[in-house]
Amino acid sequence: VSLKRNPQTLTRWIIESQREHAPNATGDLSVLLTSIQLACKAISNDCNKAGIYNLYGTTNLQNASNDQVKKLDLLSNDTMINSLSFTGQVALMASEENEESIKVDPSFRGRYCCVFDPLDGSSNIDANVSVGTIFGVYRCLDDSKDPTDADLLQKGTNLIAAGYCMYGAATMMILSLGFGVCGFTLDNTMGEFVLTHPSIKIPAKGKPIYSVNEGNSANWNAAITEYVRRCHNPKEGETPRSLRYIGSMVADVHRTLLYGGIFLYPADKKNPNGKLRLVYEGNPMAFLIEQAGGRAITGTERILDIQPKLIHERIPIVLGTKSMVDEVEQLYKELL
């Protein structure tokens, strides 16, 4: 009853968080985050109506990462760009769907930069599998000058906000401003995200779940091969680990956040640098995982410490419950 009569909406949470953690803030970031949640509401509606309005299927295009572009990819990308461009808070953007960075008209230019994957997991959208939007926010390096790609190519440690919105049975926004992770569920009757997960922490001893595409196993390095072998054949007295792989990073990471476990998208012979993108997938997700008490590495180094060189740079990713990620890291040291 109290939730219905006095809901803590995402907008209210942002305002209250500003009062508590940054009482002298201008409110500019609050405006930006409000625009992101508006874009995510629109994308959620498009995903829900995709079958009705013939939004399933692919275009004849490939994006900057050489992935086949779906109709909803383009629509989601346009929604994010349009929503952020007119906030007056954003100077520059980077999207999976755009080869080059996206500059905002000087008359609307602000002091923040946004990076995003507008519809992660879209290869699954035609099967009505959960997909999502991943985003990260940086402060421009020098907001007195015209923005450059250097503003987008900051280490993940410089993120001031990151999150994702998952479009599934319910639409959920997972967000961190650098002081923990909170989850909000879209209440369609109000049209508002409502706080439902006030403090998300990855269980220190999470469920024995590992998430990886085992179809690539013939191309794995020795460390990943050995780790998955241990998942299949645990030590005496230990429970075998369960494989759960959706193929949508947002959905797989969401489960990992709530249940614990480990998500792996390692480098392999086909993709020696990994396949997921550092700037708008790896860094925002690593930020969330660490804020929730987990770890996120490439196998050999902390993801948030990597200096990006390219907007669409790829990296290997291993993230989740700290003890499980530690085990993978140790295997890299021993076997490679």
The number of distinct structural domains making up the chain is 2
**Residue 2 falls within a domain, yes or no?**
no
Q: Which CATH number characterizes residue 310's domain? A: 3.40.190.80
Q: Are 186 and 217 in a shared domain?
A: no
Tell me which DSSP letter residue 303 carries: G
Q: Are 76 and 223 in a shared domain?
A: no
**Residue 223 falls within a domain, yes or no?**
yes
| Domain's final residue, options 148, 168, 199 | 199
**Residue 4 falls within a domain, yes or no?**
no
Q: Are 191 and 316 in a shared domain?
A: no
3-state secondary structure 310-329: CCCCEECEEEECHHHHHHHH
The set of catalytic residues is: 67, 73, 96-97, 117, 119-120, 281
Q: Are 228 and 188 in a shared domain?
A: no
DSSP string, 126-171: GGT--EEEEEEEEE-S-TTS---HHHHS--GGG-SEEEEEEESSSE
pLDDT of residue 49: 84
pLDDT of residue 291: 98
| Domain's final residue, options 172, 199, 226 | 199
**Residue 255 falls within a domain, yes or no?**
yes
How do strand 262-265 and strand 317-320 relate by DSSP bridges? antiparallel
Q: pLDDT tens, position by position, for the chain (336 residues)?
A: 455 567 899 999 999 998 888 888 888 999 999 999 999 999 999 998 877 767 777 776 667 666 777 788 999 999 999 999 999 999 999 999 999 999 999 999 999 999 999 999 888 888 888 999 999 999 999 988 899 999 999 999 999 999 999 999 999 999 999 999 999 999 999 999 999 999 999 998 867 899 999 999 999 999 999 999 999 998 888 888 999 999 999 999 999 999 999 999 999 999 999 999 999 999 999 999 999 999 999 999 999 999 999 999 999 999 999 999 999 999 999 998
Q: Are 101 and 48 in a shared domain?
A: yes
Q: Are 146 and 22 in a shared domain?
A: yes
**Residue 326 falls within a domain, yes or no?**
yes
pLDDT of residue 50: 77
Q: Are 170 and 261 in a shared domain?
A: no
**Residue 204 falls within a domain, yes or no?**
no
| Domain's final residue, options 149, 168, 199 | 199
Q: What are the CA-CA distances from residue 112 to residues 24, 29, 78, 141 (Å)?
A: 17, 8, 19, 9
Q: Are 32 and 163 in a shared domain?
A: yes
Q: Are 254 and 193 in a shared domain?
A: no
Q: Are 106 and 230 in a shared domain?
A: no
Q: Are 261 and 191 in a shared domain?
A: no
**Residue 114 falls within a domain, yes or no?**
yes
The model's pTM = 0.94
Q: What are the CA-CA distances from residue 137 to residues 45, 81, 164, 166 (Å)?
A: 24, 14, 12, 18
Q: Are 191 and 285 in a shared domain?
A: no
**Residue 1 falls within a domain, yes or no?**
no
CA-based nearest residue to 171, from 57, 291, 55, 38: 38
Contact 19, 25 (CB under 8 A): no
Q: Which domain holds residue 269?
A: 209-335
